[in-house]
Amino acid sequence: MNTPRGSLVPRGSLVPRDIESPGRDMQLRVTPPELKFLDATAGSVYRLSFVVHNLGRWNQKIRFEEPTKPQFKLLLTSLDKELASGLHMITTVEYRPDKDENTSDRVLISIGNKSTEVPLIGLIPSCQLTIESVVNFGTLVSNSKVYCKEITITNNGKVPGTFNAEYRGQLPILIFPTSGVVEAKSSLTIKVDFCADQPRIVDEKAIVLLQDQPETLLSIKAHVVEQIIELLHTSHDQRLECLRFGTIYLGTSKLKHARIYNNSPEPINWVAIIQDDAVGEELGMNIRQRTDTALNSLTSIRKVKNIDTTTIISCVPNEGTLQPYQKIVITFCFSPKLMDECKKDIGPSYRQDYVLFLRFESVGSKDGFLRDDDYKTVKSERLQKMELALTGSGIPVLLQFDPGKVLSFKPCFMGERSEIHFIMQNQCQLLPVIYHFPRNAHFKIEPEKGRIHEGGIMNVMFSFVPRQLGVFKVKQMIEIIGLVADEDLQSLSMKPFYHVSLDFNSICKAPTMKVSKKIIPGISPVIRHPTEKIVVEDLAKCQTYAPLSGLKSTIRCTHHRRSCGESGKDLLLPFPKDGAATIGSTDHHKQYRTTFTTVPRFNFVNPDSACTTCEKQQKKYHAKYYSMYLKYLRSIRLQKQAERGKTYSYNDTDIGLESGLRSPSLSVADIEEMLPSAENSIKAKRLLTTRSIASQEEQSLKRKIIKRLKSDPSTLQEKHDCSLILTPKQIHQVIVGPSVLNFGNICVNSPNTRALHVVNMLPIHVLLQLDIDLEELQKTNQFSYVIPPTSSTYISMIFESPTVGNFWKSFMFTVNNVPSGHILVMAVVQLVKLELSPNELVLRPRGFLIPTYLRGTVRLYNPQNCSAQFQWQPVNTGGGVAFSVCPARGSVEAYSSLECEVKWQPGFSSPEEGEFILHVLEGNMLKLKCVAHVIIFLEHGFYYEGDKLVGCTLVCIVTCI
């Protein structure tokens, strides 16, 4: 006997009962109010009990009435019971089902003329399916990515249960599987896919039918927002559309700040690009000048158009990753430069006006020239781009000097001063000038630095104070100081940015006087003492001059005490009257003797200032090290000169090549030889430009790879390049697209191919990996590719689906193991079908012969991508079949048509109408109705053939048109 089992999950009662129980008036409480025998099977015995509690103040006489059906039995010895006040009794009901079906009955409890009932319900084993009622995708970004949510259908019953889900709306929502069976005591996961193709608020309903339950609505919710990169002001959260730098000097820099904001719930990789080919761009033009003046300077305008805009505008950082709703500060630097072509035209009205456009883009799959025109509404370019206008003007430094740039000071003697009053005027009426005179020997400037206001003047005093004799021609520089950007392009420093040179000319004259003392050449010094100012008039007459340091004692020998031999070669002769220098600290390796004798002089070495032995060895080591280093540099320099001096000879021999030969297609090995791999040469702080990207893209498209690509890097260079971690700016130069692979309407179980183009504009190898786990794309040859530098190729994506319906899926791809975007795959998978034209055919006469008198044609069209096999089946309505179709079976190729001929065979019993059913293998069925409107007349006649009377019958067919 099975043990009794109660119900925790409420299920529908088979016995109707009143909402207001009469037991309340009877002062009687029955617990539970009904008995449910769940999962009952035939041949088993089940027991459940209920409690009767007397709530009155006196004893109650209770009478129980047996259930009417034999499956239920009340286990009581007596049906009449007396229950005291406040006490209760337990009553058991036994259920013995004889067949597997739901059964219901009741137990009636009476007190006097009042009664209450306890419903008895016997339920066979069934499924108990439950499903989540809401699928909430939350806030999504409209980037054409397919998001997936899983919900669970749970079966708490003891038998399997079926379900069916269907979405009838127009949004890109797919439910898979749409039907199935959930086993007992288990659960099944179904997936709900949603493609966030455009911004919207989604609140859709899907119908879910669960077995043995009423229709359930599944709510699908999502909030799709645009993925917008915004630029905000630094002080408030208003959007920034134009940044005005104002007017600055050419050669200086000015900084502006803004905040870049990721206004979306997903991270985004971004990069800044200068649009140097945009409409409305101005580069160095004076927008205030007259039209005729601008037309006369078209040559200089063309040269200005070719300047590198990245040297004028910089943005730091110009790439990076933004987390959801993150804001970071970026710095814009405006640095106009004076162009060499315009230096001759500089005047008070000269200026360079700039209008540039900077675009901020998200990094990911890009269409570009690879756009899929079949589905333009999925990918919207406006959502992931933001344009910022930058304006600024540059003016030159214009200084006017009085009396000019060439200044001639009056000659003077040492100790005297010659002065010139100098006036500097700032001709610019917009900006002040900060100047600085670097110090120059023998000249003094007051003030050395200062500030000249707009249109103001500055008085400067130049003084010539010579400290030595001679003629002086000096270039005196004037440094114009301003704010110049540092190397990091995020800070400014006061530095000279413009120089003006002045020519100083002057002469320092020397006084002359006669020397009373006669000079002995070779012995007496020219200048006896450093402080004495004696100029020798007869110096030119002397043939021998006194040495500057020491004189070899072997040069002159006078008054020898002994003859000068080999031992005196290294002795030095000191100056006469050198005074204290004779006993000064000197090198102890040098030996001196007196001028007129060979007696060695005293050589004093000061131990406080002399070098120690260790210091002397260190000096020798340093001298040797630098000597070897200089020899090494000289050898390198000579080697480079020799390499530059090499000449190459060309072989001009005619090898008999004919003209008109086509260039062969390049392979991976050819490209690797032509372009040796190197790291990206683009500097981290330098902006990308649309013109440079277009040029690189065009260059890469010319190098198409036809042969099969490697799936993994094999050479050392490839392994090195593919292991590099690419920045968003570098990933932006690897184009993978189109962003939407739309296969269109295709047949089930038929392979279809679309090309996924890849353009690598980087000078390094990159490893492209397609993260595809879709069964429909598993027939694609490979999912990993090593793309050579500066090249392009395409990948054949093969799609085949066994399921009929709409297909929306997306897959990610990585470049050098860095997530770089996703590709949306779309298709409408249909059964094989043929189209028939016309559906009703009226046969008309085609000649005078009876067998071929009535005929017509119908055409079968195959609008799909695979061939369709067909067979005609005539429908016999009981009168026979008089129509025939040729060919009766065959196939129609993809995107083509086939003409079939229909004939009617005339006869006395031939029906004038007929039908054919066109069966398409694994496809649709079509019906063709054929009609032949004819009237047949039989005429009898007689004629003689000789002596015999012969009868004849004439058949006349009249066609009703």
What is the per-residue pLDDT across 199-242, written as a single tens digit (0 to 9) for each? 999 999 999 999 988 999 999 999 998 888 899 999 888 999 99
CA distances from 605 to 441, 586, 590, 694 (A): 37, 6, 11, 77
- Of 94-103, 382-391, 637-646, 733-742, which gets the smallest average pLDDT? 382-391
Q: Are strands 114-122 and 35-37 parallel, antiparallel or unpaired?
A: parallel
Give the mean model confidence (pLDDT) for residues 335-342.
Answer: 76
Under the banding of pLDDT at 50, 70 and 90, the label for residue 143 is confident
**536 within a domain of the structure (yes/no):** no
Give the mean model confidence (pLDDT) for residues 821-834.
Answer: 91
Higher pLDDT, 88 or 582: 88
**865 within a domain of the structure (yes/no):** yes
What stretches of 510-603 adopt beta strand conformation (E)? 551-552, 571-573, 591-592
Whether residues 426 and 495 share a domain: the answer is yes
Give the mean model confidence (pLDDT) for residues 87-108.
Answer: 90
Give the mean model confidence (pLDDT) for residues 645-667.
Answer: 47
Give the mean model confidence (pLDDT) for residues 101-106.
Answer: 90
**5 within a domain of the structure (yes/no):** no
pLDDT at 712 (0 to 100): 93
- The DSSP bridge partners found for residue 274 are 358, 689
Whether residues 173 and 247 share a domain: the answer is no
- The DSSP bridge partners found for residue 140 are 224
**428 within a domain of the structure (yes/no):** yes
Domain end: 765, 800, 829, which one? 829
CATH of the domain at 840: 2.60.40.10
Whether residues 246 and 385 share a domain: the answer is yes
List the one residue out of 140, 453, 321 whose CA is nearest residue 727: 321
Instruction: Report pLDDT digits (tens) over 925-952.
Output: 999 999 887 655 455 555 555 556 555 5
φ/ψ of 11, rounded to 5, equals: -125, 160
How does DSSP assign 220-259, residue by residue? EEEEEE--EEEEE-SSSS-B--EEEEEEEEBTB-EEEEEE
Whether residues 450 and 501 share a domain: the answer is yes
**328 within a domain of the structure (yes/no):** yes
pLDDT at 642 (0 to 100): 85
pLDDT at 472 (0 to 100): 92
- Of 20-29, 52-61, 512-521, which gets the smallest average pLDDT? 512-521
Residue 802 has pLDDT above 70, yes or no: yes
Q: Are strands 327-334 and 254-263 parallel, antiparallel or unpaired?
A: antiparallel
Whether residues 694 and 801 share a domain: the answer is yes
3-state class (DSSP) for residue 320: strand
Q: What percent of the chain has pLDDT over 70?
A: 75
pLDDT at 338 (0 to 100): 82
Give the mean model confidence (pLDDT) for residues 808-832.
Answer: 92
What stretches of 664-774 adopt beta strand conformation (E)? 688-689, 734-737, 740-747, 752-760, 766-771
Domain end: 225, 243, 273, which one? 225
3-state class (DSSP) for residue 655: coil
Higher pLDDT, 154 or 415: 154
Domain end: 769, 799, 829, which one? 829
Residue 127 has pLDDT above 70, yes or no: yes
pLDDT at 78 (0 to 100): 87
Residues 6+ apart with CB under 8 A from 150: 189, 190, 191, 192
Task: Find out whether 689 and 283 touch, Cβ atoms under 8 Å.
Answer: no
Whether residues 696 and 803 share a domain: the answer is yes
Domain extent for 452: 399-509
Residues 6+ apart with CB under 8 A from 536: 515, 519, 526
Q: Average per-residue pLDDT in the chain?
A: 80
Residue 191 has pLDDT above 80, yes or no: yes
Whether residues 116 and 47 share a domain: the answer is yes
- Split into its structural domains, the chain has a count of 6
What is the rounded distance in angstroms from the CA atom of residue 791 to the CA atom of residue 745? 33
Whether residues 235 and 340 share a domain: the answer is yes
Give the mean model confidence (pLDDT) for residues 549-574.
Answer: 49
Whether residues 258 and 212 share a domain: the answer is no
**299 within a domain of the structure (yes/no):** no
Residues 6+ apart with CB under 8 A from 542: 519, 521
Under the banding of pLDDT at 50, 70 and 90, the label for residue 810 is very high
Give the mean model confidence (pLDDT) for residues 376-384.
Answer: 44
pTM of the model: 0.68
Burial class (CB in 10 A: 0-12, 13-18, 19+), 828: middle
Under the banding of pLDDT at 50, 70 and 90, the label for residue 635 is very high
Q: What percent of the chain has pLDDT over 90?
A: 47
pLDDT at 299 (0 to 100): 58
Give the mean model confidence (pLDDT) for residues 107-111.
Answer: 90
Residue 528 has pLDDT above 70, yes or no: no
pLDDT at 553 (0 to 100): 44
Under the banding of pLDDT at 50, 70 and 90, the label for residue 452 is very high
Residue 855 has pLDDT above 80, yes or no: yes
pLDDT at 880 (0 to 100): 77
Task: Find out whether 796 and 780 touch, Cβ atoms under 8 Å.
Answer: yes
Whether residues 182 and 275 share a domain: the answer is no
Which structure tokens are listed for 164?
């069916």
pLDDT at 515 (0 to 100): 53
Which structure tokens are listed for 268?
């985004």
**Alpha helices, H only, 308-439:** none
Whether residues 723 and 845 share a domain: the answer is no
**645 within a domain of the structure (yes/no):** no
**533 within a domain of the structure (yes/no):** no
Residue 392 has pLDDT above 90, yes or no: yes
Residue 542 has pLDDT above 90, yes or no: no
Whether residues 749 and 875 share a domain: the answer is no
**Secondary structure of 251-306 in the HEC alphabet?**
CECEEEEEEEEEECCCCEEEEEEECCCCCCCEEEECCCCCHHHHHHCHHHHHHHHC
What is the rounded distance in angstroms from the CA atom of residue 270 to the CA atom of residue 729? 8
Burial 839-862 (b: 16+ CB within 10 A, else e): eebebeeeeeeeeebbbbebebbb
